[in-house]
Structure 1
Amino acid sequence: MKKGKVCVLGSFNLDIVAGMSRFPQPGESLIAHNSMMGAGGKGANQAVAALRAGARVHYIGKVGRDDFGTFARRHLDSAGFDAVTLFSTADYPTGNALIYVAGVDAENMIAVDPGANLTFTQDEIEQCRPAIAAADILLTQLENNLPAIERVIDIAAEAGTYIILNPAPFQPVSDLLLSKVDLLTPNATECTLLTGIEVNDIASAQRAAKVLHGKGIKALIITLGTQGALLSVAGQTQLIAAIPAVPKDTTGAGDAFNGALASQLAGGIPLDDAARFASAYASVCVERAGAAASMPSYEEALERQASAQPQIVQ
């Protein structure tokens, strides 16, 4: 696989994670069995995943001028990206997230203060035009202010850069915006909110896919956790089987999938093969603690893909 260029515009958050035997009830205090602080945010996580999965990455983000912002700069400078464009503001804090990880399935519950992530200006986005135009893939999410995301997608569309939108965390977007996206990657919850169809299995995902294609979406991958993922291109669907894992922390699973997917597409890998690799990549990721810190290498994911038996859902 050649090293393609992925431009990621997205959030940076400082994550504070507590490992619990279960989630606390309202008004209840529980003792955590471990805790950690580390780099997070969907944008930064996906950028790290794309990098470690084999792409050349230009990350674009925004932080506050505070201690968390200093942490962000150190982390991003040491990550190994080809380039980092990091804007800052004195008016808002660096984004941060409080995360509970609980139970044998390592499910998570997250509260996010987006802070500086929601303050991109149009001028800042215009400064990123050369980086977006030079990329093979633009990967973005919905954890920044929507006017900035809309402008980034317009710039990418004008430049002929392939656009992946991971619609997380969900916020309402127009059908016009969706029609400009080359590949949409919602999970079941986001797909439900986008379509009004309750998505909980392959059959309901297929019904939702028809609705999304009707909104102008060319291709989409609906991720369904242990049920795998539904790939749909122009109404033709196939199941991307999940690769079994023993989960330790599922916080970064979606980000791992999206970053790995972008890296493969940037390297010229066909969409269905890229999705299968991304499934293997996410399988390795969830067996480790911490979102950014858990992103595996290209070789580790390739080994998992070669050795593991996909989990087939009947």
Structure 2
Amino acid sequence: MSQKIVVIGSSNTDMVIKTKVFPLPGETVLGQTFLMNPGGKGANQAVAAARLGADVRFVAKVGQDIFGNQAMVDFKKEGLDIDHVSQTPDYPSGIATITVNDKGENQIIVASGANMDLKPADLPDVIFEDASLVLIQLEIPLETVRYIVEKCRSLQIKLVLNPAPAKPVDDDLLNGLYLITPNETETEILTGIVPDSPESLKKAALFFRKKGVEHVIITLGEKGIYLSNGQYEQIIPAVEVQAVDTTAAGDVFNGAIVTALSQGWNWLEACDFACKASAISVTRMGAQSSAPYQHEMK
């Protein structure tokens, strides 16, 4: 039986330009297609989980502007519990500019806005009620992340950290995590280990587990994922597809993995499910717009 998932994190509006090649410094290139889509790692993950059948409570902060107003409308359409998404007059809503090339690769710049005003005072105890899993990222203040870690630890709630965008974190933030889900770049930044071989992947995963993380999933893009815990130590291959846009592929993976785990699936089943959801997402443009629905996972 599925239980409530609490996603605490960022909400952005993505300005996406499709282009043949990325511009060099000082160079102007003519783009092809422009899209404006809802995004932000927290919102992407919340929407992905909800579309896949999870009962999701989303906690975030947006501005009292056109982007924040539209985000609130979109969250309701997705069926999210947004009783604790607040709108502030003090900061604009978060914005991201995203350039996508012909290979589906992306370059992203984020203006955080209201996301960096999400403080511990915005997180009342009630948001943790009935939570089976809490999922967070690093697009909100580190003091807020630290508060959530300590709160979940005291309440014995399983906490999943997607450490993106990567930044150095204290050992105390890692100790007691149920799951951490870095990509290759984030793994190198956090561990100092380049995860480019089975041996280095195992070494990097062991780094996290020695810090007190129970389960480790290192996402490897088109190569799949590396799963490490007390039961498994292996690469799980990705589903082969033709990538159009890799934006939010990791977010969809995170939304899918917590959905599967909340339903009591074993680790291999959950990872296969999340890899499939992520593969579907890269065949579509956009962030939240690329997240698959439950009926597409049959």
TM-score range, shorter chain: over 0.9
Superposition RMSD on alpha carbons, in Å?
1.4
Q: Unpaired segments of 5 or more residues in structure 1?
A: 304-314
Q: Percent identity?
A: 39
In structure 2, the residue matched to 1:102 is 101
Amino acid across the alignment from 2:187: C
Indicate the larger mover: 226-235 or 58-67.
Answer: 226-235
Amino acid across the alignment from 2:200: S
CA-CA distance at 1:37 after TM superposition: 0.3
In structure 2, the residue matched to 1:123 is 121
Aligned residue for 1:92, secondary structure, equals coil
In structure 2, the residue matched to 1:216 is 212
For residues 55-111 of structure 1, give each alpha carbon's deviation from its aligned partner in whole angstroms, at most 9, with x where no partner exists: 1000011011222211211211221114442122222211110000002x2000000
Residue number among 260, 266, 269 corresponding to 2:265 in the alignment: 269
In the alignment, the residues of structure 1 paired with residue 82 and residue 62 of structure 2 have an alpha-carbon distance, to the nearest angstrom, of 16
In the alignment, the residues of structure 2 paired with residue 202 and residue 101 of structure 1 have an alpha-carbon distance, to the nearest angstrom, of 30
CA-CA distance at 1:121 after TM superposition: 2.2
Q: Is the 8 A contact 1:229 1:242 kept in 2?
A: yes
Aligned residue pairs: how many?
298
CA-CA distance at 1:200 after TM superposition: 2.6
Q: Is the 8 A contact 1:167 1:186 kept in 2?
A: yes
In the alignment, the residues of structure 2 paired with residue 9 and residue 43 of structure 1 have an alpha-carbon distance, to the nearest angstrom, of 6
Residue 295 (structure 1) aligned with residue 294 (structure 2): no
In the alignment, the residues of structure 2 paired with residue 15 and residue 9 of structure 1 have an alpha-carbon distance, to the nearest angstrom, of 19
Residue 9 (structure 1) aligned with residue 5 (structure 2): no
Q: 1:84 to 1:241 in 2, by over 3 A?
A: farther
Indicate the larger mover: 221-230 or 267-276.
Answer: 267-276
Q: Is the 8 A contact 1:227 1:241 kept in 2?
A: yes
In the alignment, the residues of structure 2 paired with residue 99 and residue 173 of structure 1 have an alpha-carbon distance, to the nearest angstrom, of 26
Residue 29 (structure 1) aligned with residue 25 (structure 2): no
In the alignment, the residues of structure 2 paired with residue 73 and residue 297 of structure 1 have an alpha-carbon distance, to the nearest angstrom, of 20
Residue 59 (structure 1) aligned with residue 55 (structure 2): no
In the alignment, the residues of structure 2 paired with residue 82 and residue 111 of structure 1 have an alpha-carbon distance, to the nearest angstrom, of 28
For residues 228-275 of structure 1, give each alpha carbon's deviation from its aligned partner in whole angstroms, at most 9, with x where no partner exists: 111000484122111111111100100010000011111111122111
In structure 1, the residue matched to 2:46 is 47
Amino acid across the alignment from 1:253: A
Residue number among 275, 280, 302 corresponding to 2:276 in the alignment: 280
For residues 109-162 of structure 1, give each alpha carbon's deviation from its aligned partner in whole angstroms, at most 9, with x where no partner exists: 00001111111222212x1x2222311110110110011111112222222221
Indicate the larger mover: 292-301 or 41-50.
Answer: 292-301
Q: Is the 8 A contact 2:75 2:82 kept in 1?
A: no
Map 1:161-310 → 2, pairs under 5 A: 161-234=157-230, 236-301=232-297, 303=298
Residue number among 111, 114, 117 corresponding to 1:113 in the alignment: 111
Residue number among 122, 138, 155 corresponding to 1:159 in the alignment: 155
Q: Is the 8 A contact 2:51 2:78 kept in 1?
A: no
Q: 1:207 to 1:235 in 2, by over 3 A?
A: farther
For residues 200-238 of structure 1, give each alpha carbon's deviation from its aligned partner in whole angstroms, at most 9, with x where no partner exists: 343321121121112111110001111111100048412
In structure 2, the residue matched to 1:312 is none
Q: TM-score scaled by structure 1?
A: 0.91
